[in-house]
């Protein structure tokens, strides 16, 4: 990064490929490790190793076939985290998480895209790539700079004030490298209106934007809360964030589990969801009627009549009230069609897989044999349905066997066997309970 010192990396076999970099630290001693992986998205590879001279530091290397190589000296505890990030399209990180894919600069990923199963790529506004030629200063003198070593490197030390001299020394070293990219292709930084001084916010402004107090935000930062983005700059020792990054953070908070819960609580004082609040209100009324309006129960609150036995009787009454109200909590007439659709969806996937096996010349499927299955979440849901609403579950399993036969000519016996086996693996019903229940579903014997 601009402003950081350059450190001698000649003791690391950077030119010998990723396997050699990995081998420096892998199985070489306590506290050392190394790894490399090919990048299937952009080509090239990325590797890291613990430094053999200073085990508190590590080297992270990213090679791209078009954009060359990036070499970073980091705290050894952080190299594996960056390694996982470099498995994607990110080639370079700057300004607290802004990243470059070889063409475009993006803001730090914060807002999750559930369809793409990744963070949204939001372009930095009017971003300009700054290369090494742009950073070279004619007045810089490489003789006033020096190349540091891992043994004397201090990560907590301030950056050198004469960084332009160090940049000139780095450029001079590259002249002796045969395969080095020209300086105009060496990306150093980005410039964007988002990162200009007027667009930066401090902790108080950032906290206000997020609807929390400054002390709460500071507590998040001190605890290393990963949801708080990295600052884009540090001015006079104070963290500063780009307004665009702060806006993304606010949006990400609103889309988080806590944000959705707060939004859907509809102002409930106990921060319950709307449905949970309805359940609470229902049982609050029921319990009030039970505990106060019934004289035979209310008399148990008289001190002389209050004992473990009487309290247990009241507890049993309350529990019974909840048990007979299951349909208010999760209506069976709504759960039934959902379970039916989910089971048939699993069956459809299984049949598609069967056809694919046959299409590849692996016809192990004899006529009349059905390789069906249920995924674990669906099996557990069906098991819950049977245990809590057996009569309704009985009806919908009958619907499942009928629909499976209508759509795919699956015999009822095959459907019931599949469901029974799935519950044996993932359910809570005992063997005897399962067999008894499914016996009530078996097709009636045909009269001759």
State pLDDT tens for residues 23-63.
999 988 888 999 999 988 888 999 999 999 999 999 999 99
The Cα–Cα gap between 169 and 142 comes to: 4
Measured in whole angstroms, the distance separating CA 297 from the mean position of its chain's CA atoms is 50
Give CA separation, 20 vs 12, 16, 72, 200, in Å: 9, 6, 17, 43
- Per-residue model confidence (pLDDT) at position 357: 62
* Per-residue confidence (pLDDT) for residue 448, from 0 to 100: 40
pLDDT at site 304? 65
Please report the sign of the dihedral spanned by the C-alpha atoms of residue 357, residue 361, residue 366, residue 368: positive
Closest C-alpha among 295, 292, 11, 349 to residue 149: 11
Tokens of 168: 């000139």
Q: Enter the pTM of the model.
A: 0.71
Sign of the CA dihedral running 260, 264, 266, 267 = negative
| Predicted pLDDT at 371 | 80
Summarised one tens digit per residue, pLDDT across range 308-330 is 777 777 777 777 777 777 777 78
Nearest to 67 by CA among 88, 41, 42, 86: 42
Q: Is 441 left (phi over 0), alpha (psi -120 to 50) or beta?
A: alpha
Burial category of 273 from C-beta neighbours within 10 Å (exposed 0-12, middle 13-18, buried 19 and up): middle
CB atoms within 10 A of CB 281: 12
Residue 365, pLDDT score: 45
- Spell out, as residue ranges, where the chain has pLDDT lower than 50: 364-369, 446-448
Which two structure tokens, joined as six digits, stand for 218?
Answer: 């500071």
State pLDDT tens for residues 389-446: 888 889 999 999 999 999 998 999 999 999 999 999 999 989 999 899 998 888 776 4
Q: Identify the pLDDT of residue 123.
A: 96
Nearest to 427 by CA among 377, 383, 381, 388: 383
């Amino acid at each position: 990064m601009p402003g950081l010192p350059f450190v001698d990396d000649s003791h690391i076999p950077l030119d010998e490929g990723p396997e050699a970099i990995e081998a420096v630290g892998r199985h070489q001693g306590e506290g050392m490790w190394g790894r490399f992986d090919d990048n299937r998205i952009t080509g090239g590879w990325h590797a890291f190793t613990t430094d053999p001279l200073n085990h508190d530091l590590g080297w992270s290397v990213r090679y791209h076939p078009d954009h060359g190589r990036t070499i970073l000296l980091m705290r050894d505890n952080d190299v594996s985290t960056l390694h996982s990030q470099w498995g994607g399209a990110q080639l370079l990180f700057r300004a607290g998480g802004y990243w470059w894919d070889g063409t475009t600069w993006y803001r730090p990923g914060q807002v999750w895209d559930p369809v793409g199963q990744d963070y949204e790529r939001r372009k930095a506004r009017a971003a300009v790539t700054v290369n090494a030629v742009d950073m070279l200063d004619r007045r810089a003198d490489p003789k006033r700079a020096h190349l540091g070593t891992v043994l004397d490197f201090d990560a907590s030390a301030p950056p050198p004030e004469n960084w332009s001299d160090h940049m000139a020394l780095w450029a001079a070293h590259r002249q002796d490298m045969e395969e080095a990219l020209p300086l105009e292709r060496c990306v150093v930084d980005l410039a964007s209106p988002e990162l200009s001084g007027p667009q930066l916010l401090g902790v108080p402004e950032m906290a206000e934007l997020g609807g929390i107090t400054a002390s709460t935000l500071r507590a998040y930062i001190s605890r290393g809360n990963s949801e708080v983005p990295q600052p884009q700059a540090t001015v006079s020792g104070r963290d500063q964030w780009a307004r665009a990054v702060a806006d993304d953070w606010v949006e990400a908070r609103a889309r988080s589990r806590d944000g959705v819960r707060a939004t859907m609580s509809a102002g409930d004082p106990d921060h319950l969801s709307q449905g949970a609040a309805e359940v609470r209100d229902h049982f609050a009324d029921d319990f009030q009627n039970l505990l106060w309006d019934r004289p035979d129960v209310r008399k148990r609150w008289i001190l002389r009549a209050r004992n473990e036995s009487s309290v247990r009787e009241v507890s049993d009454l309350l529990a019974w009230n909840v048990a007979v109200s299951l349909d208010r909590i999760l209506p069976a007439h709504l759960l039934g069609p959902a379970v039916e659709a989910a089971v048939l969806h699993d069956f459809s996937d299984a049949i598609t897989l069967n056809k694919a096996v046959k299409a590849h010349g692996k016809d192990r499927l004899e006529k009349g044999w059905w390789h069906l299955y249920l995924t674990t979440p669906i099996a557990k849901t069906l098991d819950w349905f049977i245990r809590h609403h057996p009569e309704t579950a009985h009806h919908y399993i009958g619907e499942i066997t009928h629909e499976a036969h209508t759509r795919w000519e699956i015999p009822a016996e095959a459907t019931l066997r599949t469901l029974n086996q799935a519950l044996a693996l993932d359910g809570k019903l005992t063997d005897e309970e399962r067999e008894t229940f499914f016996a009530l579903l078996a097709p009636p014997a045909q009269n001759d």
